[in-house]
Structure 1
Amino acid sequence: MLHLQGVSKSYGTHRVLDDVGFTVAPGRLTGFVGGNGAGKTTTMRIVLGVLGRDAGEVMLDGAPVTAADRRRFGYMPEERGLYPKMKVLEHIVYLARLHGFTKPDATARGAALLERLGLGERVGDNIETLSLGNQQRAQIAAALVHDPQVLILDEPFSGLDPLAVDVVAGVLQERAAAGVAVLFSSHQLDVVERLCDDLVIIAAGTIRAAGPRDALWAQHTQRRFELVTTGDAGWLRTEPGIEVLDFAAGSALFAADSDAAAQRVLRRAVAEGEVHGFTPQHPSLAEIYKEVIQ
Structure 2
Amino acid sequence: MEVVLSVEGLEKSFKNRKIIEGISFEVRKGEIMAILGPNGAGKSTTIRSIMGILYPDEGVVKFHNHKEGQIPRNKIGYLPEERGLYRNVKVMDMILYLAELKDYPVKKAKERTLHYLKKLGLEGKEKVSVEELSKGMAQKVQFIGSIIHEPELLILDEPFSGLDPVSQEVFKNEIKELARNGTAILLSSHQMNMVEEICDRLFMIHRGQKVIDGTLTDVKNEYANFKCTIRGENELALLKQLPRVSRVEQKDGLAIIHLAQDVIIPNWLRQLPESLSIQELSIDRISLHEIFIDIATDQHTVKEGAAINA
- Counterpart mapping for 1:82-93 below 5 A: 82-93=85-96
1:120 is aligned, of 120, 123, 127, to 123
- Counterpart mapping for 1:188-267 below 5 A: 188-224=191-227, 238-242=241-245, 254-259=257-262, 262=265, 264-265=267-268
Q: Would the alpha carbon gap of residues 214 and 146 (structure 1) be closer, same or farther in structure 2, given more than 3 Å must change?
A: same
**Quick check: 1:144 aligned with 2:147?**
yes
Shift of 1:281: 1.8
Deviation by residue 1:97-125 (Cα, 9 ceiling, x = unmatched): 33333332121011112222222231110
Moved more, 170-179 or 186-195: 186-195
Contact 2:30–2:184 under 8 Å retained in 1: yes
1:165 is aligned, of 161, 165, 168, to 168
Contact 2:37–2:204 under 8 Å retained in 1: yes
Q: Distance in 2 between matches of 1:102 and 1:23?
A: 30
2:45 is aligned, of 42, 45, 54, to 42
State the AA in 2 paired with 1:202: I
- For residue 23 of structure 1, what is the aligned residue in structure 2? 26
Shift of 1:204: 2.0
- For residue 111 of structure 2, what is the aligned residue in structure 1? 108
Shift of 1:209: 1.2
Shift of 1:169: 1.2
- For residue 186 of structure 2, what is the aligned residue in structure 1? 183
- For residue 69 of structure 1, what is the aligned residue in structure 2? 72
Q: Would the alpha carbon gap of residues 179 and 241 (structure 1) be closer, same or farther in structure 2, given more than 3 Å must change?
A: same
Q: Distance in 1 between matches of 2:256 and 2:246?
A: 9
Shift of 1:138: 0.9
Q: Distance in 1 between matches of 2:229 and 2:264?
A: 14
Q: Distance in 2 between matches of 1:178 and 1:283?
A: 32
1:58 is aligned, of 55, 58, 61, to 61
Q: Would the alpha carbon gap of residues 68 and 23 (structure 1) be closer, same or farther in structure 2, given more than 3 Å must change?
A: closer
Deviation by residue 1:170-197 (Cα, 9 ceiling, x = unmatched): 1111101111111111222222222222
Shift of 1:24: 2.0
Deviation by residue 1:2-45 (Cα, 9 ceiling, x = unmatched): 22121000112111111112222222222222222221111111
Q: Which runs of 5+ in 1 are unaligned?
A: 228-234, 270-277
- For residue 157 of structure 2, what is the aligned residue in structure 1? 154
State the AA in 1 paired with 2:98: L
Moved more, 65-74 or 139-148: 65-74
Shift of 1:47: 0.5
Q: Distance in 1 between matches of 2:270 and 2:262?
A: 12
- For residue 273 of structure 1, what is the aligned residue in structure 2? none
Contact 1:58–1:64 under 8 Å retained in 2: no
RMSD of Structure 2 on Structure 1 (CA): 3.1
Q: Which runs of 5+ in 2 are unaligned?
A: 231-237, 273-280, 299-310
SS at match of 1:123: coil
Q: Distance in 2 between matches of 1:165 and 1:101?
A: 28
- For residue 272 of structure 1, what is the aligned residue in structure 2? none
Shift of 1:126: 0.7
Moved more, 282-291 or 47-56: 282-291
Shift of 1:254: 4.8
Percent sequence identity is 33
Moved more, 91-100 or 260-269: 260-269
- Tell me the TM-score normalized by structure 2: 0.79
Q: Would the alpha carbon gap of residues 65 and 160 (structure 1) be closer, same or farther in structure 2, given more than 3 Å must change?
A: farther
State the AA in 2 paired with 1:291: D
Shift of 1:292: 2.4
Number of equivalent positions? 283
Shift of 1:137: 0.9
Deviation by residue 1:269-291 (Cα, 9 ceiling, x = unmatched): 8xxxxxxxx98622112211122
SS at match of 1:23: strand
Shift of 1:88: 0.4
- Tell me the TM-score normalized by structure 1: 0.83
Moved more, 53-62 or 212-221: 53-62
